[in-house]
Amino acid sequence: MGEIIMKNLFANRVLNNDTSDLNEIFKNSANPENISFAGGFPDNRLFPDHALQAAYQDAINRGGQALFQYASTQGLATLRQKLAERMANHADVQVTADNIMLTQGGQQAIDLVAKLLLNHGDAMAVEGPTYMGALAAFDTYEPTYYEIPVDHDGMDIRYLRHTLKAHPEIKLIYTVPDFHNPTGTTMSLQRRKDLVALANQYDAIILEDSPYRDLRYDGTNLPAIKHFDTEGRVVFISSFSKILSPALRTGWLVADEPLIQALVNLKSATDVQSSSVTLAAIDSYLAHNDIDQHIANLNAAYQIKRDAMLNALDRYFPANVSFTRPAGGFFIWVVLPQGVDAKQLLKDVILPQAHVAYVPAACQFAHRKVTNGFRLNFTGLDPVTITTGIKRLGGILQHLNVDTTVAKVALS
Ligand SMILES: Cc1ncc(COP(=O)(O)O)c(C=O)c1O
């Protein structure tokens, strides 16, 4: 059967879900000739592989045959208890293990919340730009998106207030408040409070997605948005992907009743449970290792990489290109002059001539309309490679003729 005919059989909800551009970018990233700033990858060399190996072994030794049986959908109770303590100590959120569900990465948690709340056409607010993986998850539920701009203090709450006034039917607000993907910015304390007040006023649910929260290189952490939640309308998500390993595919979701029970029911229908073996291994890792020391080591290494990228950007990028200066996380956001299409530029010039990859703006906006920007990741590469890649990228941008659209990119 031909591809076109076969696609006629696909459900409407996946027809708009075109990831071919991204597949192309990640294919190019895998080419060793290229320096790729595209993926949101932790540094391979910082994974605690020996400690994790010991943790899996310990989990299997302790659990015996019973470990290999089906287990609860919500996930290992002792691990949820540890996470409840972590939520209190690291996010100022007081919850019990009953409020927590373990998921297959934060990605599954996003999908489950969308599945719970979004009928076809339902209104939701997302940051513009936002995490493209969340958009991919939301797209399949066919919401009506309202994009809220992001500035140096995170989501623009004044803009959100106007949007909610005009569209009080908005039922879900998705935000990445800590070291935002893709801009790296962090939502201010006041905006966190204002956001909860608006959600209360307009009867909306907030999805607080915070996998980068612990990866702070300057300053001190702010309380989670969930800390200010008095009506049980904030669902908080985090993950072990960035602080331990993404291959564990383990994240967690924090919610109050009735949301938590409904989400447990949906996970049961989706995949029954996460891997008990992996959850027991993570539980053992946390019992026998100081994860905060591990995170401190990550932060020391990632700070050097962040600084290497910022120094190179200062040095090699032209004055008409601006970029963010994140205090943590994985990403820097670059804004090109109006009219430049970063995707076309990548394909036509950057990849073939500079052999560098990034994630162009459009796929990180719900409406795909903004083209003049891109996301850079600084955690996956070493500082020397970062500097080399940014120098090559800057070399092209220095010679970009900004009076034209990129279809006519002129290199002088
Ligand atoms: C903002 C954000 N949320 C969620 C995820 C999903 O991560 P995982 O499913 O590996 O926990 C990512 C991964 O890049 C992310 O950047």
The protein residue whose alpha carbon is closest to atom 13 in ligand 1 is 40
- Report pLDDT for 180: 98
Q: Which residues contact 385 (CB under 8 A, 6 or more apart)?
A: 35
Pick the CATH number of 72-272 from 3.40.190.10, 3.40.710.10, 1.10.3720.10, 3.40.640.10: 3.40.640.10
Low-confidence residues in the chain, pLDDT < 70: 1, 3-4, 16-21, 401-412
Ligand 1 centroid from CA 244, angstroms: 13
Distance of CA 317 to the CA centre of its chain: 26
- Report pLDDT for 361: 96
Ligand 1 centroid from CA 249, angstroms: 10
CB distance 133 to ligand 1 below 6 Å: yes
Q: What is the DSSP string of 234-264?
A: EEEEEESTTTT-GGG--EEEE--TTHHHHHH
Q: Which residues contact 395 (CB under 8 A, 6 or more apart)?
A: 316, 354
Q: To which residue do tokens 């409904």 refer?
A: 262
- Report pLDDT for 18: 66
Can you point out the beta strands (E) in 152-262? 154-155, 172-175, 205-209, 234-239, 251-254
CA-CA-CA-CA torsion for 311, 313, 317, 319, nearest 10 degrees? -80
* CA dist 404 → 222, 321, 347, 363, 394 (Å): 43, 15, 17, 22, 18
- Report pLDDT for 173: 98
- Report pLDDT for 409: 43
- Report pLDDT for 221: 93
- Report pLDDT for 402: 60
Name the residue among 149, 253, 272 with its Cα closest to residue 205: 253
Ligand 1 centroid from CA 239, angstroms: 7
CATH 3.40.640.10 location in the chain: 72-272
CB distance 130 to ligand 1 below 6 Å: no
CATH 3.90.1150.10 location in the chain: 3-47+293-408
Indicate the top mutation candidate among 41, 101, 107 to test ligand 1's pocket, ranked by most ligand atoms within 8 A of CB.
107
DSSP for residue 400: B
Query: Domain 3-47+293-408: which CATH class?
Result: alpha beta
Q: To which residue do tokens 């659990």 refer?
A: 63
Task: Indicate the SS3 state at residue 294.
Answer: helix
CB distance 176 to ligand 1 below 6 Å: yes
Distance from C-alpha of 310 to C-alpha of 44, rounded to nearest angstrom: 22
Indicate the top mutation candidate among 130, 150, 175, 181 to test ligand 1's pocket, ranked by most ligand atoms within 8 A of CB.
181
- Report pLDDT for 6: 81
Ligand 1 centroid from CA 208, angstroms: 12
Ligand 1 centroid from CA 405, angstroms: 33
- Report pLDDT for 190: 98
